[in-house]
Amino acid sequence: MKSDHTPPTSAAQYELLNSRTLVAGAFDTAIVPLGSCESHGAHLPFGMDALTAHALALRVGKLVSNSFVLPPTFFGMSQHYRHQALSVSLSTDTTLALFRDIFRSLFQGGIKNIFILNGHDGNIPCWELAARDIKVEYPEINIAGVDWWVPISVLCPPDLLEVWSGWGHGGEAETSMGLELFEEWVDIGQTTTEGAIPKVDNLIKQIWLFQELTQSGSTGAPASATREKGRIMAAAVVQYVADYINRQREHIGPSY
């Protein structure tokens, strides 16, 4: 049967494409959402990080022509959350190899622009090292990424988030984002009024296990979350990332 579907040119989901629509779409940019599966407390789903990264990536894709969005990686390096049930984790080496292979496959398939949208803290060193390795291997590639929560403090009003600057695993910011992106999977009635606020030094990177910070699956103040806060954060991150990709995709490869 002949299809009358118009080939997608933006916000395309890679897993829904086929050989014909891939060619017709003239894609040059891939948005890669990275996530994990571990406890975020009683109010958020195990796949919170992957669901968030994917939902944000799809919104970014609508603003970037000739782009497609990969399916999220639902597994990452989550061994530091293993004391809560149920953490399904890859090792650091496996995660690094997985990301490197994804990036390499995209480039070998003709994609010159890769943007990583990460939703999980344990993936940070892995995606950064993988991206650096691929850039060295293929100097002409344009590869960059962001951990979605990092730009929030710069892009959003300073008084938007009320407790601990919104930080926390399953805390105010993350729960607010969940309410905006997939409210049906957030059980806001299970949030606690008093979240665990760990004493940390903002200038020092301390390596911890989650059980050292809290006895629950979350930290921060999820009870302070609202969908409106999530809407503001999501809009700011999506627009900034889309603007970055559109600006940088014209500058591929070394300038020397």
pLDDT in tens, 147-158: 999 999 999 999
Domains and CATH numbers, the chain: 12-247 (3.40.50.10310)
Considering the entire predicted model, what is its pTM? 0.91
Looking at residue 79, its pLDDT comes to: 95
- Check the CA dihedral 47-53-56-58 and report its sign: negative
Most confident of 76-90, 126-140, 209-223: 126-140
- Tens of pLDDT, residue by residue over 42-66, are 999 999 999 999 999 999 999 999 9
- Adjacent-strand bridge partners of 146: 117
For the segment 231-248, what is each residue's pLDDT rounded down to a tens digit? 999 999 999 999 999 999
Q: Is the pLDDT of residue 82 over 60?
A: yes
Mean pLDDT of 129-139: 98
Q: What is the pLDDT of residue 146?
A: 98
The mean predicted confidence, pLDDT, of the chain is 91
pLDDT of amino acid 1: 37
Report the pLDDT value the prediction gives residue 209, as an integer from 0 to 100.
86
Give the per-residue pLDDT at 194: 54
Which tens digit of pLDDT belongs to each residue from 2-15? Answer: 344 443 444 799 99
Give residue 252's pLDDT. Answer: 60
Find the mean pLDDT for residues 150-174.
Answer: 93
